[in-house]
Amino acid sequence: MSRFSFAQDDLYAFVENVFPLYHTKHKRAKEITDCILNRFPENIDEDEIAAELDVTKRWIQKVCTASFLITFTRLKRILRIYSALKLLHETNQDMLGISVYLDYSDETNMARDFRLELNISPTEARTMMMNKTPMELFGKRWRR
């Protein structure tokens, strides 16, 4: 996993840019994001975060919906997709290497998530980012 250098600060900036209600809607939304990003790219579920924050799984779902306007599962998927975009843009690593690093079981599952959220494949995204940043591509392609 250490063959990639990935800055958590970049993911925090991404969250603040994509989800403007993030800080204003619910003060503890940052704690949820912290829990996800502190263990990133390891997959973490609502039960683990609920135990860490001493809250219920339902509370986490409500905070995500109120602060991010999406579900917890979708938030994690978006963070993984954005991370994949960054890695596609900054490295020559193949899709399998990136998908394994981001805790996908294989590149097919990563491609499925790309189609769900951006309506393009990871290969198309890499080509499109020749003249765009990952944030620009995500902003133009993501469907809320």
Same domain, residue pair 88 and 47:
no
pLDDT reading at 2 higher than 50: no
What pLDDT shows up at residue 12? 84
Q: Are residues 81 and 64 in the same domain?
A: no
Instruction: Please give the pLDDT value at position 114.
Output: 96
Spatial separation of the C-alpha atoms in residues 100 and 107, rounded to whole Å: 8
Determine the pLDDT at residue 6. 59
In a domain, 1, yes or no: no
Q: What's the pTM?
A: 0.88
**129 and 84 in one domain?**
yes
Q: State yes or no: pLDDT of 39 exceeds 90.
A: no
Domain count, the chain: 2
Q: Give the domain CATH number at 125.
A: 1.10.10.60
- Backbone φ, ψ for residue 6 (5° rounding): -130, 120
What is the pLDDT at residue 22?
66
